[in-house]
């Protein structure tokens, strides 16, 4: 059976989008996703995203297989790309600018803005160690500025779950981090039983952060939306940044807000269609 796909990227974090609305089961296996994401022998992507029928009153369901075949709970850049993809699929029949999307990390609501950007209500951050999850501190405590030994170095880390788990550490010069070496050691550290996404953050100003990321299951990527959200939360919790800031990633900037009104996280950024094809 031929499968049509569309390639999208959000600040260089790229995905293969598949219309899976006729079935609640992904039409591509994790093993096939690994092959499709290969940048030399496949299409090339950080993950494969499936648009499935909605669950529990939502408009659609999102599932994603990473480039290593693992399945994350959610993906911030990916859900912006999914919103753009759904708008393309609906075409002239589209009658609203936002979607309620069921994910393994909860219900997420992206909104298509008139300037082509996508604003996403990312929900409430989870902060307890049991919610990350991590055994770095007792289950009902928050992980804020806690020392962690990685690669014979002590890092001060803050952990946030934004539908998927993140470990954030603040550094003087983010460009100096040997990400390809240190990233896997964070991801597979025994204090994180479900592995971890890791963000290295340089505070340029209280409203401007620079970020590099090692993503669980994907490695070095040009952007991570949930990571940008988690990093702003970590910056606020540690007193390093304001509740609204620009987070500059290698692929470009995201606007992140931790609302004082409803305590929810809002992320605004682009979603660009690259090309379509058929498998």
37, 159, 224, 241: the active-site residue: 224
What's the number of CA atoms in the CB half-sphere (13 Å) around residue 131? Answer: 15
Distance CA 263, CA 261 (A): 6
- Smallest CA-to-CA distance from 252 within 10, 80, 8 is with 10
The per-residue DSSP string of 121-171 comes to: EEE--B-BGGGTT-SSS-TTSB-SSEEEEETTEEEEEEEEESSSEEEEEE-
Instruction: Please say if 224 is a catalytic residue.
Output: yes
The per-residue DSSP string of 115-128 comes to: TS-EEEEEE--B-B
37, 75, 167, 241: the active-site residue: 75
Vertex 71 angle, CA 250 and 275, to 5°: 55
Distance CA 189, CA 203 (A): 25
Residues 6+ apart with CB under 8 A from 159: 127, 129, 132, 134, 136, 143, 146, 165, 166, 167, 168, 196
Helix (H, G, I), strand (E, B) or coil at 10: strand
With b for 16 or more beta-carbon neighbours within 10 A and e for fewer, the 169-200 pattern comes to bbbeebeebebeebbeebbebebbeebbbbbb
Distance CA 84, CA 66 (A): 20
* Both tokens assigned to 232: 């702003």
Instruction: Please say if 75 is a catalytic residue.
Output: yes
Q: Just list the catalytic residues.
A: 75, 224
């Amino acid at each position: 059976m031929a499968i049509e796909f569309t390639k999208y990227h959000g600040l260089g974090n790229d995905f293969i989008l598949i219309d899976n609305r006729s079935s609640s089961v992904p039409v591509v296996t994790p093993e096939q996703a690994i092959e499709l994401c290969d940048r030399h022998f496949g299409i090339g992507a950080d993950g494969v995203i499936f648009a499935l029928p909605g669950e529990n009153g939502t408009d659609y369901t999102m599932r994603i297989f990473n480039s290593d075949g693992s399945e994350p709970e959610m993906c911030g850049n990916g859900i912006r790309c999914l919103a753009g993809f759904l708008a393309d699929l609906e075409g002239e029949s589209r009658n609203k600018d936002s979607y309620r999307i069921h994910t393994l990390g909860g219900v997420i609501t992206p909104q298509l803005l008139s300037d082509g950007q996508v604003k996403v209500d990312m929900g409430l951050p989870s902060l307890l160690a049991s919610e990350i999850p991590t055994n770095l501190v007792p289950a009902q405590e928050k992980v804020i500025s806690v020392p962690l030994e990685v690669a014979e170095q002590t890092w001060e880390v803050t952990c946030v779950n934004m539908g998927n788990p993140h470990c954030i550490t603040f550094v003087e010069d983010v460009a100096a981090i040997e990400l390809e070496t240190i990233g896997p050691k964070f991801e597979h550290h025994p204090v994180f039983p479900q592995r971890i996404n890791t963000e290295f953050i340089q505070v340029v100003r209280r409203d401007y952060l620079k970020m590099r990321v090692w993503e669980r299951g994907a490695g070095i990527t040009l952007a991570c939306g949930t990571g940008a959200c988690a990093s702003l939360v970590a910056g606020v919790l540690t007193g390093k940044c304001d509740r609204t800031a620009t987070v500059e990633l290698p692929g470009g900037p995201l606007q992140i807000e931790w609302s004082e009104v409803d305590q929810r996280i809002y992320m605004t950024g682009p979603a660009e269609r690259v090309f379509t094809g058929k498998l």
